[in-house]
Every structure is written in structure tokens, then in C-alpha cells.
Structure 1
Amino acid sequence: MATIFKTLSVIKNPVKSFVGFIESSVSVLKFCTKQRLIAEGGILHGHFYKLGIASNRHVSIKLLIMYLDFRKSAEVDQLLKDYDGFDMIVHNCLISANVDWGNVDDARKLFDEMPERNEVSWTALISGYLKCGRVDESMELFRRNPFQNVISWTAAISGLLLNGMHSKSAELFLEMLRSGVTPNVVTFVSIIRACAEMGKFEWGIAVFGLAVKVGFADDVSVCNSLITFSLRLRKMEMAANIFERMGEKDVISWTAILGMYVEMGDLQEARKVFDEMPERNEVSWSAMISRYSQQGYAEEAFELFRQMVEKGISPNSSCLSSTINGLANVKVLQVGRNVHAHVVKIGMANNVFVSSSLIDLYGSCGKTSDGRLVFDTVPDKNVVLWNTMISAYSLDGQLEEANKLFDQIPVKSIGSWNSMVSGYLRNEQHDKVFEVFNDMMLSGQKPDISTFSTAEALMMTMPCEPEVNAWAALLSGCKTYGEDEVAERTAVKIRDVAEKKSGGYVLLSNVYALAGKWPEVMETRKLMKERGLKKNGGCSWIEVKNELNLFYSQDGSRIDSNEIYGVLELLNST
């Protein structure tokens, strides 16, 4: 800012250098608007007023744009008083501002009041409707637009894409071509993205062919969109080839190809690209740090984090969480404390995901009380934060504290229940595990794969061998909730422990039948037959004259069976 004021001050005589002074003034106001320097902009306004140039058309328009961007209604009203009658540029500024604020109805009112309009007026309102999801109104206005040029066509195509109407945006693109309008860079970027969203590889290639034909083959934005398109459709080699042939690459190009190698898990190539990057943003730093952390390279992750901070780049929540998680895995407490201090310094201490990672770090290092301090300082806690704190207590053997916290959770998720189950299981309190399972079922909470995996682990670690009925119950739950993977392992266990009871085999047969695995059904029934097992028939009973009478399915051993079946036939025939 000081440099810009210095630029103005070197013009000793504004009258003799009036044009240059106005141009510099306009530049200063544009800079203040872009950097959101509200106070500095007000000071400049007063300085220009004192010099008598605040009413200059170029300066006053930039002042209007600045105050509209800052939403300074009093200053806007004062500036508007200086305009007598209609001014198209002023109206367009007001329409654009209302569109940015989401006041599209006020923008339409201003539009309708205009005695004459230009392409900016029409395009601003069309884009405004599309931003608000009012597609029908925008397209009606688009069809009425007398200034149909590449800007208005592109605004409509991009807007449809923004509203998820990918096929409609492609149709409008073809209509634009038929009308003889040549696409620009923004058009190509939008339509290539639409092709990616629809999964239309051939369409994307055709669009790029057209881009080559009209001279945009080497444009950085078009090439970047094509790299993203290739990655979205899993065409990794194509993305790499496009990147290699690009004459000019920007940070988006480098970050996209870095992301490709990170996603593939190729750390060597990813690091090579990272080291070659002439410019890195927080996304590229975060990508490398996250992958190092996920693959267990905590030292490398922290070293990159340190370099990132030294270069003055502020890490995002994902980067911080990944770094802290890596340190938690190797239980490096002091380094973790240093990262925690940086989290506080940059104002990220209340971020629930970063805080969850910090709680996990302290819990892993046996400093649960420090984790609780982190938990207590977060004002808006989500279920992840609650579950992490419960897990930290469980890991430290403080099950009473974990249970107290569990009872305080506003809304219990399946993760909350699983945290308690895992805690009791880790501390070999098997009776408590069964209690939690029972409470979970009574609460109506539907279990997930982790629940059944935990139950399976419990059965495997019990001091005494569970009976087949216990395994059969687990298998039955797997059948009910469609957890085939745990069911398969449970079935193997049933084969090992079931010798005389058929219940487990029947459930196993039913699970296979439900999954459509008929060969396995036949194999299970064959195994039952070979071992002399059979499914018990159905049974019912009735008490007559203080005597209990039992009836079994397909049982003809009773003396009065013929009489009973005769009556049954008579009842069925009536």
C-alpha cells in the first residue's frame, strides 16, 4: 500500500499530469478492492475529494465498485446522488453487485427499469439466475437476449454445468457451434468438465480436437481441464502425456499431476514432481504430507510440514490433521506439542478435525488429560470429536471416564457404540461388551461392519471357547444385516466347533442362500448329512384338560394321528 501512495505522491502537479494521475488513482482503487483494504480505500476517497477528482467519471465508477464490494450502503447512496438521470454503467454495477449478494430479484428490478441495456446487463442477470438455481428464468432471458455472443453463450453453458445439468450444457454447446459462434477458453474448460462429469471420454476428445482447430491446444487452462478430465476417467497415461507436452505449466498443472501420483500411491514419482514444482500451493503441500502420513512416513511428513511453515504457507485442516496423525502413529509427543502450538497460533484450535487428531495424539502418548483439555476448549463438538475422546479414555484404560462421556453424547452414532465396545474389549471386560451390544440393539441403532468385526474379535479373545450357539447368533446377525465377509469367517468357525447341534449349519445354509451361493448351500447340507445332523422340525403344543399335547412337523407317531389329520382335512375343505 505504501508503494502505491508513493506512486501518487511523485506526481508533483496533478493538473499537468492529469491523465497519468487518474490512471494511477484508478489502479489504486482496484488494488484496494481486490485486497479488501476498506480503511485505506476510505482514506483514498477523502484524498481524491480534496484534490477535486472524486467526481471524475473513471474514479467515481471505481469508488462505486469498491463500496459495493465492501457493502457500504451509505457511501454507495452518496455516490449515486452525483449521477443525474440514467447511466448504463452505474446500473450494470448495481445489477452485478445484487447478483453477487444473491439479491437476484432486486437485480431484475434494476434490469427492468433500464431504458436501454447492453450485453453486460443481459449476461449479468442470466448468470445471476443460474447462480441461484433459477434455470428456467435464466434460459427464458437467454433466449430473449439480443446480444448473443460467446460471453453470453459461455455464461449459460457454465451456469447449467453449475446446476448439475451436464447434458443440457453439452446440448447448448452444440447449439452455439451451429449458430456460428466460436468458443473461447472458458467455454472449452466448461464443456470439457461437463464431459468428465458425464463420463463421456469420446466427447471430451472431440472437444479437445476442436480446441486444437481454433488455436487453444497450448492454452494452460484448457490443458489443465483436459488433465483433470483424464484423471476423472482414470486415463492416467493420457494425463501424464498432456502434462509432458505442455509448453507452459502453472501451479494447477503441477498440483493435478502430483495428485495423480499421490492417488496411485507412487510416492517416489510424487516426490519427484513435488521437488520439480516451481511454485507450490497449500493443496500440493497437503497432498504430499497426507500421503507420507498415511503410508507411515511420519518423519518425512513432519519435515515437509516444517518446510511449509518456514515458507510462510498456512496449512489447512487436512494438512494439520495428517501431520498430527502421523506423529500419533509413532508417538512423538514433543514434536506433537510443537505442532499444537502452531495450531493455536494460526487460529485453528477450534477446528473439530484438527482437534480430533490432537486428542488422538495425546491419547496415543498416554496424555489423556491433555487430550481432555483440547476436547473441552472446542465450542462446537461433532460426533467425531466425542468418539475420539471416548477412544482415548478407553486406550488409557479409563473406562469409567469413557462411559461418563458416552452418556453425555447428544446424539450417539454407530461409531460411539463401537468406541465403547472396543474399549471394553481392549480391556478384556467381556461382560460389559455384551451389555453394550444389548443396549445398542435396544436403542434401535443398526450395526455396521465394524460392529460385527468387533463382535468377532470378542468371540476370538474370550478366555473360554464360545458355544456354537454364540457363533450362530453372530452369523444370524450377519445374515440380517448383509455382512457377508464376517459371515464367511464365522461360518468357518462354526464348522470347527459344531459337532452335534445343527442350528449353526442351518443359519450358514440360509446365509449362503440369501447371497445366492447355491453350491455352498448344497455343500453345507451335504456336510450336515455326512455328520448325521438334521434340522429340527417345527413344534407346537396345546393344553387340554390339564394335559400338554405336543405336535411335531411330519410326526405320525401319535396314536390319534389319523383322527387328527382327518379333522385337519375336513377343516381345509370347508
Structure 2
Amino acid sequence: MGNMRAKNPQGAIQMFSKRFYCGLSERIVDVPVDARIVKTGFDPEISRFNFQLKDLVRTNQIASARKLFDEMPYRNTCSVNMMVSGYVKSRNLFHARELFDSMVSRNEVSWTTMIGGYSQNNQPKEAINLYNEMCRSGVKPDHITFATLLSGFDDTTTLKEVHQIHSHVIRFGLSSSLIVCNSLVDSYCKTCCLDTASQLFSEMPTKDSVSFNVMITGHTKYGFREEALKLFMQMRNMDFQPSDFTFAAVLGLSVGSDDVIFGRQIHGLAIKTSYVWDVFVANALLDFYSKHDYIDFAKNLFDEMPELDGVSYNIIITGYAWNGQYEKSFNLFKRLQVTSFDRKNFPFAVMFSVAATEQNLAMGRQIHAQAVVTTADSEVQVGNALVDMYAKCEKFEEANRIFANLAYRSSVPWTAIISIYVQKGFHEEALKMFKEMNRENVHGDQATFASTLKASANLASVSLGKQLHSSVIRLGLMSSVFSGSVLVDMYAKCGSMKDAIEVFKEMPDRNIVCWNALISAYAQNGDSEATFSSFTDMIESGLYPDSVSFLSVLTACSHRGLVEKALWYFNSMTQVYNLDPRKEHYVTMIDVLCRSGRFNEAENLISEMPFEPDEIMWSSVLNSCRIHKNQDLAKKAADQLFKMDALRDAAAYVNMSNIYAEAGKWENAAKVKKSMRERGVKKATAYSWVEIDHKVHVFTANDRTHPQTEQIRRKIDSLVELMDKEGYKPDTSCTLQNVNEEMKIESLKYHSERLAIAFALINTPEGSPIIIMKNLRACVDCHAAIKVISKLVGREITVRDSSRFHHFRGGLCSCEDYW
């Protein structure tokens, strides 16, 4: 959480405007008594009541002020203005506007007070509408009116609106007013029009520290660090004394860079000017150090601060959370709870993020209860964090209930639910949410499209992926390397390497993430040569490979059985690039060795690695043991898997049962299956799907639910006749059931991927490519059958199973039968 004042260095302007028009104190107190009598219509009684009313408003006794106001025998415009300002101060805009609308006579103070109410409460559109109404009424705005109006402009304000107010400033002869010029410069900065802001700044007849603060903050916000730094140096050279806002603005400049030394120099200047003990400046320093991962330094400063406020706690709590020190973050939050600071401003959103990361539902619910009590759950950021927390804790019903009750649903909560659905594998639900989001005219951001593209990639919906690609281009997000990388990944997972390569080539800039996306794309599609050459090209471009880069090249080695090359890459991680292999690198390396039958080396590597073998690793060993008929190691791997408390699926039981079945040990196979049933582990249903005309069609083995079932089966029967003539012989060892040979052959014919292929052949033009997806590994017989089918129908058939891509052309497969 940042310091809110630090984000708005022109708060001084707002403060002046609010004092002047909400309290009305300066304009009243400094006027001589006889002038007040004249102002109240020469009625001393009204003047006396107005004095009492002003004191009640000043001390925020709004109920008492309204009681007095209602009891006044006579009132004038000043009386009503004060009551309106009281409601504005208490943020009760409904009663303020109700009273304002009832006024018979309004002066510039009346209009400006009400405009200020909307500006202070983040309603710039209402403020602009009221200002336009003021102009139509014939009341002339003054410099305070413009400063008040402009102070409420934010990121939702359009450049056209700023231009309109600027033209009015000129028309009313206020273009030389310092407070108005500062407000205009700030408004141009907020609408990302820095050129106009800079031009106006240079033309200003006079400047003060606020002028520089606004410009420094504006340039910092949009990443123009050098320009912001020049402005700061210019300010120092012109002998303007830095204020608390200056320090906040310049420290904000430091936060956006890796220049810690500069930030420390600003810290030194704050000490020299005695601003370091100002809580506002100290909070900006806390923010600077925590965001540069100097959390211990920030905590020391926090402990030394003579004055703390709620912002101080928010920053240090957030700093620990970002640093992954969740326990310290939570302990400080508990310490914050016993302070007298406004509980509604506690960092609930951060604590919900901690609960989400830790998947600590109990903690999340406890803090949720506190947020409800303080009504903080009605805040947009807190509501969004709640949705994210419950979704990540897999409480989708609660997440959706909170989401449905959000007063304002920006792209953030939509993206939170979409991304969690994708992470949990609920890709279809994610896409439904995205479509609903579009129906509500909510525009997604970069994160939204990243998650949705992942969903379309996992469903292999290339048509949806291309629609999303068009949206990314239309919204101007293609310049982001992140968007480009996600698109490369999407096209690759949909089997469209041509599109993936094209997207990569069109990227204006390429970082390590972009290169990794391309290297991974080639590896997934089994093109080892392209994987290795891309890895080399990346290094030659001046980038060093990271752990993701090496995982992709090791995967490529695994798909091709390139053991020596895999060992070379694995060893170069530590010896050349000083990278410690992670568990996933060991998993892939062990897979390479086992699949090549080098079980002794694999066992040595398992014993030497700094991790305990997990389910994925032993499952890989077990699968290779089945291929190489290594029953002894298979039993060892299976025993390790069966001991695990949270075995995720039945693959280990199925593999061990199949190993026994292939060896004709039906009794042992039956014991394994019995153990699986007793433990409640269920075999995952194999299914395949294909997208035709923007619709996904899903098939399971021996499926008869599809409307075109009869046509599909006729197509398969006709293909089988042609396949027999080509010499195809069914491999009945793939059907590990204790049934006769004829039944085994019949069962193989209707495996899910063959049903999907037959359906695609019926419903697509001749010669067009076919892309099939399968949730599990394809069997050996299906692999052999699809090779023959690709030759018979003269089509390229791509099958993506749980292991890799297989590209079948003319009777051959891209894997060269090593998979």
C-alpha cells in the first residue's frame, strides 16, 4: 500500500480549496464585523446564528448544526452555504445536494462548495456537470472554483474535458493564477498529456514548489524518469525549498527504478532538512525501502519513527507480504488492530492476498469478518481481494456470491475469477466468465487476456485464440512482450507453430520471456533441432538462459531420447550459468535416463538430488519401467507411490496393474486394482476433443452419445478395411482386459482419439489439417493406427496428448516412434 498523499503531491491545492469552501472559515473570519452585518442583510440576528452555525460545522457537529439551521427564524445565502459545506465535510453528498437544489439564490461560494463535494468524493463527472450548470446560471467562476473543480480530475477524465476547462480559464482571465495553473498542469498529467503539461509549465509567469511537485509526479507516473530528475534538479537550482510533497514525489521516482543510491541520497537530504521525522516523508521512505526489498532497513526506520499513522503500518505490513514474510506481516497486522487508527483503512486487501497465497481459509474468513464490521468490504480493492482469496481457496460459491454483490465490477475481479478457474483446470468455466464479462461491456486488460488465452490454449480452441489475438491488437496491447509471449504459447499449444513463429517475429522487443515461449513451443511440438537452435539464438542475442530455458531444452532431449545432450545441458546449468537445478529439471533428467533404459544412472541421480522424489518423478520411473519391462524397479516405484497420502490419480495403480497384466500375472494385477478400489482412487476417464466450426466436440472410448454416432462408426469401419490392406495389425496388448482377442480388437477401434478423427474427417474439407486433443497419453496401437490413417486420407493429423504433440503426415509421426 502506498502513501496516498505521496501519490498526489498537489494535495496542497486540494487542501486549500477544501478549507476555503468546505469550512468557509477564511472568507468569513478575516472579514470585519461591520462587513458581515452588511453581508447578512443588516440583520445582527442572522449574523449571530451564522456564527453559531459556523462553529458547529467547524467541529463537525453536523446533526446539531442542522437542528440550529432548521430553527433559525431567518436565513440568508451564507447560512445555507455553511450547512451545505457541513454536509460536504461529512461526505453526505445526498443531503448536501438536496439542500443546494432548494436554494433560491446561489453565489459562487454555493456552487464551488458543491463542486468541491463531488471532487473530493471521486466524482469528477458530476463536478463537471455542476460546473457547466453554474456557467449556464450566469454565476461567474473564480480561481478557487477552477482549482476545486480541477483537483477532482482523475484517470477517468478525458483530455477534451481538460481542454474545455482550460479554455474557460483563459476566457475568464485567470490564466496567470498560480493555483489554477498548477491545477491545470496536474490535470494534463493525469490525462497522459505531458507535452501540453510541460508547455503550460514553461509558460507559467510564476512557479512554486507545488508546480514542480506536480510535474515530477506526472513524469514519474508514466516512466519518464530522466525528465522527472531534471525537473527536481531545476527546482533545487532555483532555490525552491523541498516540501513533504517534493520528497514523496522524488522518492516515488526512486521506487520506479533500480537506483537505490539515489533514494538514499534523497533520504540524506530529508535528514539535512529535518523532514525525515515528518510522518508523510518517513512513510515515503518506508515505501521506497520496502519496494526495493530492503525490508529490514524499512522496519528499523519504522521502529525509530517518533510518529506513526495507519499508512506507516500499511506500508510495512505490505512490504513483509511482498517479501514473502507472511508471519511477520500478520503479526504487525494484529499489532495494528490494537491501535486507534481508522480500522476501515486497515490493509485488508493485502491480508486477503496473504491468505490467498497461503490458502489459509480460516485466516481469510477471520479478516473478512473484521472487514464487514468496519464496512471496508464495500471498498473496491477490498472486494476484489476477497473474490481472489475465496477463489484461490477453491470456495467458488463464496467467491461468486461476493463477486455478484460488488457495487463496481472492473476488470480486476473478473480477471481474478477467470485466472483461478484456469489455474484449477476449469477452462470452460473461465471462457464462460470471459464471455459474460464482454456482455457487460467490461474491457479486459493484459492479465485478463493472458488467462483467457491460456484457457483457449488448454482447450486447443485456435478459433477463440485468434479472436482474442484480434482483441489484443485492437486494444493496443501487442507492444507488451508479455502479450506476445502468451500468444506464442497459445498458438503452439493449439498445434499452430506457423502462427506462433509469426507472432514471435513480429514482436518489436524480445526479452527472456519471449524467447522462452518460442523455445518451449518448439520443445512441446517435438522439434528438437529448432529448440536447440532457438536456445543458441537467444544466447547470441545477448540474453542468458534461465531455469525455464533449460527446462525446455531438457524436455526436447526427453522427447528425442538424446541422453548425452541432456546431460550436457543439465551440467552446464551449474558449471556455465551458475543456476541451481530445480526439482522439475531433475524430474525431466530422470525421465530422459529411464526412457532410454539407463535405470542405474537414474537411481543414482535420485539418491544424489537435494529433493525428496515426488509423485511426478516416481510416476515417470514407473511408466518407463513398463516400456522396458523392468518389474523390479517398477514395484519399487509403485510402492513409493502407494505410500503417499495424497496420490492425485490412479495412474500408478493402472500402470502397475498393466505391467502385471502384460506379464500374464493376472492375479497380481487384480490385487493392485483391488487396492486401488479400497483406497477410493479412481482411474481418470480418457477423452479426446476436436474443434469444428467454433464448437468443441468431446468423445470418450466407445462413445455412443454424439448425434453423428452412426456416421462416425461407419467411417471407422471403412478406415479399418483400408488399414488392413496397408498391413496394419492391431496391438491387442494395449487392451489389458482378460477377454478374447476379437473383443480386444473391437475395443481398440473405438478409442476416443479415433472417434474424434473420424468425426473430423466427416465434417471438414478434404485435405484440410485435423487437430485432436487428448487428456491422457495415447496408446501404442492408436499411435500406429493414426500413422496409417494419415497416409490413407492424405491429411496432416496432429494429436496433442498429455505428454507431447504428435504430427502425423504420410504414414509417419514427428516423434519418430520415440515417445
TM-score with structure 2 length normalisation?
Answer: 0.48
The 1-side partners of 2:394 and 2:288 are apart by: 31
Q: How far off its partner does 1:13 sit?
A: 8.7
**Contact preservation (8 Å) 1:395, 1:423:** yes
Range moving further from structure 2, 243-252 or 322-331: 243-252
Relative distance call for 1:191 and 1:229 in structure 2 (3 A) is farther
In the alignment, what sits opposite 2:268?
137
In the alignment, what sits opposite 2:590?
456
Q: Residue 153 of structure 1 is aligned with which of 279, 304, 314?
A: 279
Q: How far off its partner does 1:344 sit?
A: 1.8
Is 1:309 the counterpart of 2:427? The answer is: no
Which of 1 and 2 has higher RCO (CA within 8 Å, sep 6+)?
Answer: 2
Q: How far off its partner does 1:450 sit?
A: 2.8
The 2-side partners of 1:39 and 1:275 are apart by: 34
The 2-side partners of 1:168 and 1:309 are apart by: 48
Tell me the amino acid that sits aligned with residue 93 of structure 1. Answer: S
**Equivalent residues in 2 for 1:403-418, closer than 5 Å:** 403-410=532-539, 411-418=544-551
**Contact preservation (8 Å) 2:330, 2:351:** no
Is 1:243 the counterpart of 2:382? The answer is: no
**Contact preservation (8 Å) 2:563, 2:593:** no
Q: How far off its partner does 1:264 sit?
A: 1.9
**Equivalent residues in 2 for 1:418-497, closer than 5 Å:** 418-426=551-559, 429-430=560-561, 432-438=562-568, 441=571, 444=576, 447-462=581-596, 466=597, 470-477=598-605, 482-485=610-613, 496=632
**Equivalent residues in 2 for 1:500-539, closer than 5 Å:** none
In the alignment, what sits opposite 2:489?
360
Relative distance call for 1:241 and 1:93 in structure 2 (3 A) is same
The 2-side partners of 1:195 and 1:451 are apart by: 30
Q: Residue 322 of structure 1 is aligned with which of 444, 448, 451?
A: 451
**Contact preservation (8 Å) 1:327, 1:361:** yes
Gaps of 5+ in 2: 1-123, 221-227, 255-262, 291-296, 634-819
Q: Residue 11 of structure 1 is aligned with which of 135, 140, 143?
A: 135
In the alignment, what sits opposite 1:545?
none
Tell me the amino acid that sits aligned with residue 610 of structure 2. Answer: G
Deviations 1:330-356 (A, max 9, x none): 222222222222122212234333333
The 2-side partners of 1:136 and 1:491 are apart by: 57
Tell me the amino acid that sits aligned with residue 265 of structure 1. Answer: E
Relative distance call for 1:285 and 1:142 in structure 2 (3 A) is farther
Deviations 1:124-149 (A, max 9, x none): 2443564442364255246368xx8x
Relative distance call for 1:444 and 1:483 in structure 2 (3 A) is farther
The 1-side partners of 2:334 and 2:388 are apart by: 22
Deviations 1:4-63 (A, max 9, x none): 59955873696xx33x45555445544667667567645654554344333356534534
Q: Residue 170 of structure 1 is aligned with which of 295, 302, 307?
A: 302
Relative distance call for 1:387 and 1:55 in structure 2 (3 A) is closer
The 1-side partners of 2:410 and 2:232 are apart by: 34
Relative distance call for 1:433 and 1:369 in structure 2 (3 A) is farther
Number of aligned residues: 456
**Contact preservation (8 Å) 2:557, 2:592:** no
The 2-side partners of 1:58 and 1:77 are apart by: 15
In the alignment, what sits opposite 2:81?
none
Gaps of 5+ in 1: 115-120, 178-182, 498-574
The 2-side partners of 1:206 and 1:350 are apart by: 44
The 1-side partners of 2:529 and 2:334 are apart by: 62
Q: How far off its partner does 1:289 sit?
A: 0.5
* CA root-mean-square deviation: 4.2
In the alignment, what sits opposite 1:256?
385
Deviations 1:382-421 (A, max 9, x none): 3343343344344444444444434433344454344244
**Equivalent residues in 2 for 1:184-223, closer than 5 Å:** 185-187=310-312, 189-190=314-315, 193=318, 199=328, 201-211=330-340, 216-217=342-343, 219-220=344-345
**Contact preservation (8 Å) 1:231, 1:239:** no
**Equivalent residues in 2 for 1:104-143, closer than 5 Å:** 104-110=232-238, 112=239, 122-128=243-249, 130-131=251-252, 132=254, 133-134=263-264, 136-141=267-272, 143=274
In the alignment, what sits opposite 1:269?
398
The 1-side partners of 2:482 and 2:188 are apart by: 37
Is 1:49 the counterpart of 2:170? The answer is: yes
The 2-side partners of 1:61 and 1:345 are apart by: 35
**Contact preservation (8 Å) 1:333, 1:365:** yes
**Contact preservation (8 Å) 2:485, 2:513:** yes
In the alignment, what sits opposite 2:203?
78
Q: Residue 93 of structure 1 is aligned with which of 192, 211, 217?
A: 211
TM-score with structure 1 length normalisation?
Answer: 0.66
Q: Residue 183 of structure 2 is aligned with which of 35, 40, 62?
A: 62
Q: How far off its partner does 1:324 sit?
A: 1.6
The 2-side partners of 1:413 and 1:343 are apart by: 28
**Contact preservation (8 Å) 2:317, 2:330:** no
In the alignment, what sits opposite 2:423?
294
Relative distance call for 1:437 and 1:414 in structure 2 (3 A) is farther
The alignment partner of 2:338 has SS state of helix
Q: How far off its partner does 1:376 sit?
A: 1.8
The 1-side partners of 2:399 and 2:143 are apart by: 49
Tell me the amino acid that sits aligned with residue 339 of structure 2. Answer: L
Tell me the amino acid that sits aligned with residue 592 of structure 2. Answer: L
The alignment partner of 2:204 has SS state of helix
